[in-house]
Amino acid sequence: MIRPIVKYGEETLHRHAAVVLDITADIHALARDMVETMYAAPGIGLAAPQVGAPIRLFVIDLSLGHDHRGLITLVNPEFVEREGMQLEEEGCLSLPGFNATVARPERATIKGLDLEGHERFYTGDGLLARAFQHEMDHLDGRVFVDRLRGIKRDLIVRRIRKQIRSGKW
């Protein structure tokens, strides 16, 4: 089932997500819905808070669904190591129409549980490292605009507030 994506300004996006204590049938169903929602958007990553579920779960697939082996689903993920820096433009399904250049690690190793409860480790460079950090930010109540400073951040936030006031958000 495709779920509605929560947009910037809604409380769920700005709160720290809760640890998943038990991987239940509901968690499995949520993960399936998140994958379907991510592909339909289309996007390369989606965190549970983006569909209104304030728990520590995300899905990533750089192939946009073209290679099922590329799908990563992690419960209670955490960083093991991050290094380097890349400056690339990114957007977010919760901030449609907005992009900005964000500093992120060039390489990241992350661990978490798969849907069977087994611990998994992934190491990514470039776009995958960026996706890990982006989705982890969502689990920590942050969006990419929170990493911006100055005029660029202010401009995006003002434009969003204007769209909210006019009912277009």
Check 11, 36, 81, 135 and give the catalytic one: 135
- Give the integer Cα–Cα distance in Å for 118 and 136: 19
Strands (E), the chain: 45-47, 57-60, 72-83, 86-91, 99-104, 107-113, 119-125
User: And the tokens for 98?
Assistant: 């907005």
89 counts as catalytic: no
Residues annotated as catalytic are: 135
